[in-house]
Amino acid sequence: MCIGHGLSRRRFLAGAGALSLAGGCDGGFPIDLVSDDRIEAMGLEAWQQMHTGTRRSDDADLQRALDTVAGRLLTAAGERTDAWEAVVFEGPEINAFALPGNKIGVFEGLFGVVGNLDQLAAVVGHEIGHLQAEHGHERVNTQVAKDLGLRVIAFLLQQGDVQFAAEIAAALGLGVEFGLVLPYSRNQELEADRLGLQIMASGGYDPAQAVDLWRRMEAAGGPRAPAFLATHPAPAQRIEAIEAMLPEIRAG
């Protein structure tokens, strides 16, 4: 097992015990059960699996639009654009995702819902927000703790090196191809929304377009709702929260 920041076994068990008494991890995990390096490596491995199992889109216009939006947003967020990769994947899925290791994927189907580059920026900004806030790291650690439990973790610590590959794959939330889809917590979603709106505004995009995006997402539902909605709160709740954030975002 990888335990980050030189965490001793005694400190880990004490922290895990305190966590179990606290009754949840919605606001983030207080200690690292899996190191940042390990989580990033799993994210990059999942990214390679995506390229193996799913073709990159041949639509140069879609990739160009994503490159333009991602480049502006990353610059606005203070990130080095050459340290990130954003790819359009082939497929009708109305979905996007972000992986540790600075990887963003958008499926072709999402472009059929977004009405303009500002709305695409709302999606990409949201995903950048997740990565900057290290929500993937939090989710991996939370999932490992939930799945294994304090007693099992203590036992495994005594047994030596354990790689939580299955839990990490599931916690990264790539869907049925790579693991069980696990939604981010409401707090994480709201934080990613707020960060995304701030990045949009700094990058010269209209943050109010995020409201229109979620209305279009809701309208695209029907018998088979967009995959993007499966891991997010209901559009009505999301719209209400975003509208409440907009005055502060506009005020800078």
CA distance linking residue 12 with residue 8, whole number of Å: 6
Strand order of the β-sheet with 103-107 is 85-89, 103-107, 96-99
Active-site residue identified among 79, 108, 127, 138: 127
Of 12, 27, 34, nearest to 150 (Cα)?
A: 12
Q: Is 108 a catalytic residue?
A: no
Residues near 21 by beta carbon (within 8 Å), at least 6 away in sequence: none
Helix crossing, 135-159 with 36-53: angle to 10°? Answer: 110
Q: What is the DSSP string of 71-102?
A: HHHHHHTT--GGG-EEEEESSS---EEEETTT
Of 68, 130, 59, nearest to 89 (Cα)?
A: 59
Structure token digits, residue 48: 């390679």
With residue 21 as reference, give the H or E element that holds it: helix 9-22
Under 8 Å between Cβ of 77 and 202: yes
Catalytic residues: 127
